[in-house]
Structure 1
C-alpha cells in the first residue's frame, strides 16, 4: 500500500479527534449482541460490488451525506461505517456527527480485516 499524503493524513487525524472508533475484530461479537446495528460500507461502489460484508448497506463516502437522512432518519440509530482500512469511514463518521448523528462509529481495520471475520457477498 502506498503511503498517504500528509494533507490527507492530517484530515484523517483531525476527524479521529472527534469520532468513536471500534476495532474490526470486535464487530462479529457486536453484531451477535445487538441486532439493531447497521453496517455501512463507505467504499467506492466498484469496491462494494467486488465484495462486501453480507448484509452491509452501501452508502459510499461520496454520497453518504446526501442520502443518509432518507435511509436512516433516526439520528440515534447505531451506524457502524467501514471502508478499506478505516480512513474514509473516519471522515464519513465525522461528517455524520456534524449532521446530528449521535451513535456513529468508524471501524478501524475496515474491509481488510472484516473480510476474514464475517460472511461476505458480491
Structure 2
C-alpha cells in the first residue's frame, strides 16, 4: 500500500480541481463505451489486480509512452490507481500534454471494486 507525503497529497488535491473525475458508475459506463483505460500503478500493483481491459502504464512512464498507446489526443482516456491520487495526477498530466478527453476514477480501483460489490 502506497503512503503519500504531504506534498504529493497537495499536488493531487490541486490536480483534482483541474480534471474530470468520474464516480464508479460513470466510469463503468465510460469503459463500456470504449476508449483507453489506464492503470497508472506499478507493474507489481497491476499484477495484484486491475480492471479488465486496462493497460498498465505507470505514472512515471506516462509522458514517454502515451503517444504509443494513444496518438489521438481527442480519444477518451480514463486513468486510475488504487485510491485516486495518482490517477488524478496522471489525468492532469495528460491534459497538459494536450489530451482533451481525459478523466480519472474518483476513489480509484478501491472505490470501483467496492461499488461493484454493492451492486
- The alignment status of 1:25 with 2:25, answered yes or no, reads yes
Aligned length: 116
Q: TM-score, normalised by structure 2?
A: 0.86
Runs of 5+ in structure 1 lacking a partner?
Answer: none
Structure 1 stretches of 4+ moved >6 Å: none
More helix by share: 2
- Which structure: greater strand fraction? 1
What's the RMSD between the two structures over aligned residues?
Answer: 2.0
1:50 is displaced (CA, Å) by 1.1
Taking structure 1 as the reference length, what is the TM-score of the superposition? 0.84
> 1:87 matched to which residue of 2?
85
CA distance in 2, matches of 1:101, 1:110: 20
Mapping 1:46-85, distance limit 5 Å: 46-85=44-83
Corresponding residue number in structure 1 for 2:107: 109
Unpaired runs of 5+ residues, structure 2, are none
Q: Residues 25 and 113 of structure 1 are in contact (CA less than 8 Å); yes or no, is this contact kept in structure 2? A: no
Q: How far did 1:31 drift?
A: 2.9
